[in-house]
Structure 1
Amino acid sequence: MTQAIQFQPNANAGVIGALQQAAAATGVDFAYLYANARAESGLNPAARASTSSASGLFQFTDATWLAMVQRHGDKHGLGWAAQALSQGASPAVKQTILSLRHDAGVAARLAGEFTRDNAGKLQAALGRAAEASDLYLAAFFGAGGAIKFLKSMAAAPGMAAASLLPAAAAANRSTFYHRDGSARSLAEVHDLVANRIHRHLGDEPAGTILPPAGRSMPPADPALAAARARMAYLVLAAMQ
């Protein structure tokens, strides 16, 4: 089935290209990556959150971004960054690595890896394949928070969501509370968050987010790898 995608008229062609390349490189559905980026940043690689450290096309927080670079950087031309982090990178080098969130190509590839990681965790915990709404909850709350949320919602959908995830509620008041200040239930927050991703997926379901087990993964883009290697050289040279 062909995925119906409603493209934003003024979307930057470079961003769309980065998402397409990331989908090919990580095996994650382009439609999901596109919808996620639209929901998170409006396809703006320079976007910054006002209530947290979230930044870039996919609004990675500082901690999550650094963890993803250390875990998956080698596959996408960021071996220098992964090595620097594993060896205790200086604040200046960490800031350089964090700034890569605003590179659409890097952000999209690590968002694909993040999606794959979360899909595996969700499937293991829930006993079923993760759906687009599950994956977006994981992007929003972290895999652990999403699992906690979904399991609690299954048992008590009317429970106040803010009481379950107080830190997330403090950073996202409009998601967890109505305009009159009353708390939204788990079911209400789920519907609100799920709608954010579904409205950007077009008229059809997201379909298969991940490729079948055993499908080979394309290698990192050589041009991207070369660019990151040059950045590594410049950073390391500046440290000497």
Structure 2
Amino acid sequence: MATRLVQINMKARDDAALGRFWAQALGWGVDSEGPGVTNLEPVGFAYPDPVAVCIDIVARPEPKTVKNRVHLDLATTSPAHQAELVQRLLDLGARPADVGQGEVPWTVLADPEGNEFCVLEPREVYRDTGPVAAVVVDCADPREMARFWDGAMDWTLHEVADDFASMRSARGVGPYLEFIRTPDPKVGWNRVHLDVRPYRGDDPAAEEARLRALGATDPGIDQSGIPWTVLADPEGNEFCLLAPA
């Protein structure tokens, strides 16, 4: 058994408006599965497929108050493309963001609801990822996070070090999942989190038990009204275990 990363879940005060921003930013299609939920995926995409990690934007009234521990890095193909993309995103409603990055070759922006993301300078490693180069998770211990997520998913580890770890679908397509050491502690619920899904035919209860054996914990919320399972990784980051598909 194994899971795979299929989407990120992003909270928003206005899911439809934020969905329009990200659809235009990525060149993706936008859909809705009901009031308060906006889904984004590439046009013509057959879900689930590792060529893309989709985005679910869910309406929540709470305002954003701290830096997100999960963010997107966007890929570019040339300095001119990076400059053009940054300007286009600013025109769409993004704004410059300062997260203490100092002088770096990438550009840090925030979307219209304040969610931080990066527009990277051209990097060979991301040449074939599509518009999203990586889903990035801040953490205290990249090695431990790599251990857990390597066991949780059937993705392939590409690099593991004290300050950085990365993994990608075993098919060698789509964005990377990266863990970067940061000094900031986790505060409150993550407004952006990972959603993983087992394969068709897998036993959800057995998969939950397997993840718990790897180090997943109970986040301590009432889950009686939802059809999926919410767990937390070894550093307390919430994630959802969706139904097999």
Q: Would you say same fold, with TM above 0.5?
A: no
Between structures 1 and 2, the one with greater helix share: 1
Larger radius of gyration: 1
Between structures 1 and 2, the one with greater strand share: 2
